[in-house]
Structures are given as structure tokens and as C-alpha cells.
A and B are shown apart, each in its own frame.
Chain A
Amino acid sequence: GAVVSQHPSRVICKSGTSVKIECRSLDFQATTMFWYRQFPKQSLMLMATSNEGSKATYEQGVEKDKFLINHASLTLSTLTVTSAHPEDSSFYICSAGGQGRQPQHFGDGTRLSIL
């Protein structure tokens, strides 16, 4: 089946650091990727839709200057958490594909811990 690779799986860093998370579709091209945030034992919250070659579409309440998304190729989207603070600590998950009848395929997530 389709594979989505997300890296790194875990990040621990100091407050004020910027952190970049990569999401790659390994065996298919993805014009659209999605970035989610998940709090413990809760559902996924869609943060933004990443569009290849154009600006990302952010959900209401998500700061686009805080969470920078770049989708420069058909197989790679990146999420950069700028000047991260402890409240940004969370589990971030990306997905790719899922147009029409096809399911979205998810990465394994990134556990971000800001000290």
C-alpha cells in the first residue's frame, strides 16, 4: 500500500527553537498533503492543507506565521514550527493522498516536546 514517511519521529528542544518536520510520499505523487495536531487521547485536529506549488490553506485559528508549510515537490511537504514554546508541544501527523474515493495515508507522527 501507499507509504508516507514522516521525520523526525521525536524532537525535544528548548523554547525559542524552530523545528522542521518532513512528510514524504514514498511511492506516489501527492499534490495535496495535510498536517494535523493531536493531543493525548483526542482526535486529530486539521491544521492546514499543503498544496504543491502554491500556498497552504490554514484552518481557522491556526497561525500561519507560526506554522510554516512548504510543499515544493510532489513528494515532500514540510512543517516548520517557528520559535516553539511549551504550548506547541504535541503530536503532529501528516497525511497524503485521499482525493476522491481514495483514503488518506498517514505518516507515523512526530512527538514534539518543547522544554
Chain B
Amino acid sequence: AQSVAQPEDQVNVAEGNPLTVKCTYSVSGNPYLFWYVQYPNRGLQFLLKYITGDNLVKGSYGFEAEFNKSQTSFHLKKPSALVSDSALYFCAVRPSSNTGKLIFGQGTTLQVKP
């Protein structure tokens, strides 16, 4: 079965430190990869996507993600975390043959402390 895994329920970092939120996937073919962020009682906001090309993708709010095909990973990164980055982050994958459905990871809560 196709799946997306975010192995950490919560990631804690100090403000100003780099952050990484991990994502691995098990999807056949060459899927499209996405990261979304969710603030409390809000919908999901699109951060960035990987389609093809450079393995390091830059997105909104200073976030970037590193694609590794051999490890089937797409980890979210930011060089310097802000307290306002504290939120719930979702990795999502769309199989290339799919009509549009996304497969979501279980989500990772990022807590940035001052």
C-alpha cells in the first residue's frame, strides 16, 4: 500500500536554530511531493512542492525541502527557526498516475521556543 511517514510526532527547537521535519514515502513511480502547514483551527497552507529538477526546493517563509530519491525522503528544513513557525506540518504525496488525491503523513507538530 502507498504511504507517507512522518516519524516524529513533535519536533522541538530553539528560536534561531535550524530545524528539520522528516518525511519518507512509499509510492511507486515518480510522485509529486508537497509540504503544508496548519495553524490552529485553520486549513492547510501550501509551503512548497517538488516536481523534478533540483533536489533542494525553496518555498514560502524561508522553508526549503531536500528531496532524496534513493532514500525516498523529502525532509523540510529551515536554517533559522522563528517562534511563529510553531504549527502542525504535513507532508503529502500525489502519485503521478493519480487524478489528484493526496496521501498525507500523520503530521508533525513543530514547537519553536524563544
**Chain A contact residues, CB within 8 Å of chain B:** 1, 4, 6, 32, 34, 41-44, 46, 49, 91, 93, 95, 98-101, 103-109, 111
State whether A49 and B106 are in contact (beta carbons under 8 Å apart), knowing that A43-B90, A107-B43 are contacts in the complex. Answer: no
Asked whether, in the complex, the Cβ of A6 is within 8 Å of the Cβ of B106, the reply is: no
State whether A44 and B90 are in contact (beta carbons under 8 Å apart), knowing that A32-B100, A101-B49 are contacts in the complex. Answer: yes
A49, A108, A109: which contacts B100 (Cβ < 8 A)? Answer: A49
B36 surroundings in chain A (CB, below 8 A): 106
**A108 nearest CB neighbor, chain B only:** B43
Asked whether, in the complex, the Cβ of B109 is within 8 Å of the Cβ of A108, the reply is: no
State whether A98 and B104 are in contact (beta carbons under 8 Å apart), knowing that A6-B43, A103-B34, A109-B42 are contacts in the complex. Answer: no
Asked whether, in the complex, the Cβ of B49 is within 8 Å of the Cβ of A106, the reply is: no
Asked whether, in the complex, the Cβ of A34 is within 8 Å of the Cβ of B43, the reply is: no
State whether A101 and B99 are in contact (beta carbons under 8 Å apart), knowing that A42-B107, A44-B104, A109-B43 are contacts in the complex. Answer: no
Asked whether, in the complex, the Cβ of A105 is within 8 Å of the Cβ of B46, the reply is: yes
**A46 nearest CB neighbor, chain B only:** B101
A100 surroundings in chain B (CB, below 8 A): 32
- Closest 7 A/B residue pairs (Cβ): A106-B43, A106-B44, A103-B46, A108-B43, A43-B106, A43-B104, A101-B51
B88 surroundings in chain A (CB, below 8 A): 41
A42, A91, A103: which contacts B106 (Cβ < 8 A)? Answer: A42
> 12 A-B Cβ contacts within 8 A?
A4-B43, A34-B100, A34-B101, A34-B102, A46-B102, A49-B100, A49-B101, A93-B43, A101-B32, A103-B34, A104-B46, A108-B43
Bound CA span A4–B46, Å: 12
**B36 nearest CB neighbor, chain A only:** A106
Bound CA span A98–B100, Å: 6
